[in-house]
Chains A and B, each alone.
Chain A
Amino acid sequence: MARVRTWVGIAMAAVLGASITGCSSTGGKRAEDARKAAQAQAQGQSAVNTPKWTFAMVTHSGDGDSFWDIVQSGAQQAANKDNINFLYAHDDQAQQQAQLVQSYIDKKVDGLVVTLAKPDAMKDVLANAKKAGIPVITVNSGSAESKEFGALSHIGQDETIAGEAVGDELNKRGRKKAVCVLHEQGNVGHEQRCAGAKKTFKGELQNLYVDGTNMPDVQAGIGAKLQADTGIDTVVTLGAPFADAAAKAKKDAGSDAEVDTFDLNSDVAQGLKDKTYGFAVDQQPYLQGYEAIDLLWLYRYNADVLGGGRPVLTGPQIITGKDADELLAYTDRGTR
């Protein structure tokens, strides 16, 4: 026991000593606090005096997904402004997601925001929401089913259109042979993106499946593909975190392929700026969260509905090096 205590003491002293002597003049918590102060200007008080309604959002996100973090922060921002109590839950399994939505219906929330990545699984619970008189807005995925399931509006990006935009951009850049990297087997939206790109791209496009929960595997998979086929001149990843893996794989393989990606984060914005990446296709997740909550508020307050029964699109927006400068500040604070 005494020996344990000695060791703990030594460890504590070491940690303390290290933190006193080694300050970093860049980055870290201090820089974050400065950013937070800038962000706080936006937060602040609620701008309305409607009653404190409760809105809940249920997504098909896995645990710890950076994209959904941005959606959530947009929703939270709108909730602050509209005096809303905002609740969030997620599960990547259809059955669990449906159960979570049902739980919120049981709770009798005043509004629901739901993603329809697996539309058939959500059909029954959305009918229950309708029965309970809870207004629903669908976001991100499910533009085709949103209206049929009785949602007020759908906010998001049509994955096929986004894919087609990528194909067009690749043609513009004179690309010949591309790989579309799918990091989640079983995700319909991902399949649509690659299929859309294939449709408009004049060159050859192949699909490559990797395990997105395992970054080294992603990197090795892309690297092997680039080594196996040296004719590949473009790698398209479907999520911001995977662009980095693709860039590393490209370096390992000694390939000079261009890396392009769907979605944005601060690393991608930085990479666009210093030409590591060609372009990014943004669907503005912050806007999806923000608008969903705001539209629910508008519906509750004024019975307003946006979109006229058609999806409200937040993308695709092609972002290149020249837009990256402005966006860097926003990606840094986690809103783009």
Chain B
Amino acid sequence: MTATAPAPAPTPGKTTDERLLQTSLWRKLLARPELGAVMGAVAVFVFFSFAADSFLRPASLSTVLYAASTLGIMAVPVALLMIGGEFDLSAGVLVTSSALTSSMFSYQMTANVWVGVFVSLLVTLAIGVFNGFMLTRTKLPSFIVTLGTFLMLTGLNLGLTKLISGTVQTKSIADMQGFSSAEKVFASEISIGGVDFKITILWWLALVAVATWILLRTRWGNWIFAVGGNGDAARAVGVPVTKTRIGLYMAVAFGAWIAGQHLLFSFARVQSGEGVGNELIYIVAAVIGGCLITGGYGSAIGSAFGALIFGMVSKGIVFAEWNADWYKFFLGAMLLLATLLNHWVRKRAEATK
């Protein structure tokens, strides 16, 4: 099972290899996992353009993109992981853990902030390796393994912060060396035509580009699809299944590291209790973007559109002056609709082969 549509059966009389057949552009589009999400994003955009007069202002769109990017940065690796057939329920609190590690290490060691950032990368990746290692070693479902990690991390975030800082939030590191340069990298704003755009949008786009390239143009991408489609079969044909799975968890950890550093450098302080519940939102963004919950199918671009839909709805409700109590309801409805649409599109794509 790969993301490219298998070509139609060769017509008799032709001797060309079926894999070399040209498919029409329309059919290629139909077979893309992200088609449903793109259609959904366009629909939501048009809807809010009419529903809220302030939605189309450049400053408003910048806020929407920012909201989408903070989620999208995590939705990309989570989508890869889901294509690989696994879950990560610890992804939400891992972002907070990463920010806490970075901030507390710098503060307690009175080190240059960049040292903390680097240590945080190592620690976060180690947690990712732990997830992958536990999964491949114990053969337990990833749902259980990462649920355990999620609970442990939630406790560690609260417990260690209280133990080290004495309060439930970290001390401010805004006056430490290296803060301003790290802030430039993780939490600055870029002014384009008088409108400030957050740098997280760049990080997000870069991650989407890299992930898409890996999925569609490299060996590793094929491995991810193979592992998610059928792990045993993949192992039989020589795919390094264990390495691929651990690598995917490390990718999620890397995303959590970027998101966590952004959290830290935009606020200089981290609240230890946050991030719980976000892991489901990343999964929802990936699923709206066309990832199958069973693995083996999906795309990174799709997850970006899933995140964009999220950003547009969560902030669009504000621009439209609606009661925010309904936000979660819309989200749930959107998830079901998007998944049904994806399903229908996939059916059509398979029927037209």
A188, B165: Cα distance in complex, Å: 13
B324 touches A89 (CB 8 A): yes
B53-90 vs A, Cβ < 8 Å mask (1 yes, 0 no): 01001011011001100100000000000000000000
Query: With A89-B324, A186-B168, A187-B168 as given contacts, are A95 and B60 in contact (CB-CB < 8 Å)?
Result: no
Interface membership of chain A positions 251-280, coded 1 if the CB is closer than 8 angstroms to chain B and 0 otherwise:
000000000000000000000000000000
- With A63-B328, A186-B158 given, is the CB distance from A107 to B54 under 8 Å? yes
A41-86 at interface with B (beta carbon < 8 Å)? 63, 85
Are A185 and B273 in contact (CB-based, < 8 A)?
A: yes
Say yes or no: A188 contacts B318, CB within 8 Å.
no
One of A99, A118, A120 near B63 (C-beta < 8 A): A99
Binary per-residue interface labels of chain A (288-320) against chain B in the complex, 1 for a CB within 8 Å, 0 otherwise: 000000000000000000000000000000000
Is A102's CB under 8 angstroms from B63's CB?
Answer: yes
- Write the nearest CB–CB distance from B40 to chain A, whole angstroms: 21
Q: Within A173-188, which residues are at the interface with B (CB < 8 Å)?
A: 184-188
With beta carbons under 8 angstroms apart, the residue of B66, B271, B314 that contacts A186 is B271
Contact string, B280-322, partner A, CB cutoff 8 A, digits 1/0?
Answer: 0000000000000000000000000000000000110011010
Please report which residues of chain A, range 92-111, place their CB below 8 angstroms from some CB of chain B when the two chains form the complex: 93-96, 98-100, 102-108
A154 at the interface (CB under 8 A from B): no
B321 to chain A, nearest CB (A): 6
Contact B266 A124 (CB under 8 A): yes
Q: Closest CB-CB distance, B138 to chain A, in whole Å?
A: 28
For A106, give its contact among B70, B319, B321, B323 (CB under 8 Å). B319
Which residues of the partner chain A approach B266 to less than 8 Å between Cβ atoms?
Answer: 95, 98, 121, 124
Whether a CB of chain B sits under 8 angstroms from the CB of A191 is yes
The CA of A124 and the CA of B268, in the complex, are separated in Å by: 11
Decide: A191 and B168 in contact? CB cutoff 8 A. yes
Chain B's interface: helix, strand, loop or mixed, by majority?
A: helix
- One digit per residue, 1 when the CB lies within 8 angstroms of any chain A CB and 0 when it does not, for chain B 118-152 equals 00000000000000000000000000000000000
Question: Are B66 and A188 touching (Cβ within 8 A)?
Answer: no
Residues of A within 8 A of B167 (CB): 188, 191
Asked if A89 and B318 make an inter-chain contact with CB atoms under 8 angstroms apart, the answer reads yes
- Give the distance in Å from the alpha carbon of A259 to the alpha carbon of B146 in the complex: 39
Interface assignment of A208: CB less than 8 Å from any CB of chain B: no
B346 at interface, CB cutoff 8 A: no
Contacts of B318 in A (CB 8 A): 87, 89, 100, 103-104, 107
Specify which chain A residues have a CB less than 8 angstroms from the CB of B269 in the assembled complex: 118, 120-121
Give min CB distance, A134 to chain B, whole Å: 13
Residues of A within 8 A of B263 (CB): 95
Are B267 and A121 closer than 8 Å at their CB atoms? yes
Asked if B181 is at the interface of the complex by the 8 Å CB criterion, the answer is: no
Q: Are B169 and A188 in contact (CB under 8 A)?
A: yes
A330 at the interface (CB under 8 A from B): no
Q: State the Cβ distance, B95 to closest chain A Cβ, in Å.
A: 10
Inter-subunit contact B66/A99 (CB<8 Å): yes
B230 at the interface (CB under 8 A from A): no
- Chain A positions within 8 Å of B168 at CB level: 185-188, 191
Q: How far is the CB of A255 from chain B (nearest CB, A)?
A: 27
Residues of B within 8 A of A88 (CB): 323-324
**A186 vs B272: C-alpha distance when bound (angstroms):** 6
B54 close to A108 (CB less than 8 A): yes
Given A88-B324, A102-B63, A103-B60: A93 and B319 interface contact (C-beta under 8 Å): no
B112 at the A interface (CB under 8 A):
no
Known: A89-B318, A95-B266, A99-B315. A120 touches B172 (CB 8 A): yes
Contact B66 A94 (CB under 8 A): no
**Shortest Cβ distance from B226 into chain A, in angstroms?**
36
| Interface check A198, CB cutoff 8 A | no
A87 to B273, CA, bound (A): 27
Q: B60–A106 contact, CB under 8 A?
A: yes
A164 to nearest B CB, angstroms?
A: 18
Residue of A nearest to B64 (CB): A103
A87's partner among B62, B63, B315, B321 (CB-CB below 8 A) is B321
Say if the beta carbon of A90 comes within 8 Å of chain B.
Answer: yes
By beta carbon, the residue of chain B nearest A105 is B59
Residues of A within 8 A of B323 (CB): 88
- Chain B min CB distance to A212 (Å): 11
How distant is the Cα of A63 from the Cα of B277 in the complex, in angstroms?
13
- Known contacts: A120-B268, A124-B266. The answer to whether A106 contacts B63 by CB under 8 A is yes
* A186 and B169 contact, Cβ closer than 8 Å, known pairs A94-B267, A106-B57: yes
Residues of B within 8 A of A63 (CB): 325, 328
A94 touches B172 (CB 8 A): no
For A102, give the chain B residue with the smallest CB separation: B63
CB distance from B343 to the nearest CB of A (A): 24
Complex formed: what's the CA distance from A96 to B276 in Å?
Answer: 13
Point out the residues of chain A lying under 8 angstroms from B60, CB to CB: 103, 106-107
Closest to B158 in A: A185
Residues of A within 8 A of B321 (CB): 85, 87
Measured between C-beta atoms, what is the minimum distance from B194 to chain A in Å?
Answer: 13
The residue on B at minimum CB distance from A192 is B167
Q: Which of B171-186 contact A (CB under 8 A)?
A: 172
Closest B-chain residue to A132, C-beta based? B59
Residues in A with CB closer than 8 Å to B267 are 94-95, 118, 120-121, 123
Residues on B with C-beta less than 8 A from A103 are 60, 63, 315, 318-319
Q: List 6 A-B contacts (CB under 8 A).
A: A103-B60, A103-B63, A103-B318, A106-B62, A120-B267, A188-B168
Instruction: Name A residues whose Cβ lies closer than 8 Å to a Cβ of B.
Output: 63, 85, 87-90, 93-96, 98-100, 102-108, 118, 120-121, 123-124, 184-188, 191
> A85-B321, A185-B158 provided; 11 other pairs, C-beta below 8 A?
A88-B324, A99-B70, A103-B315, A105-B59, A106-B60, A107-B54, A121-B267, A185-B168, A185-B273, A186-B168, A186-B274
Among all A-B residue pairs, the 7 with the closest Cβ atoms: A186-B273, A120-B269, A106-B60, A103-B318, A120-B267, A186-B168, A121-B267
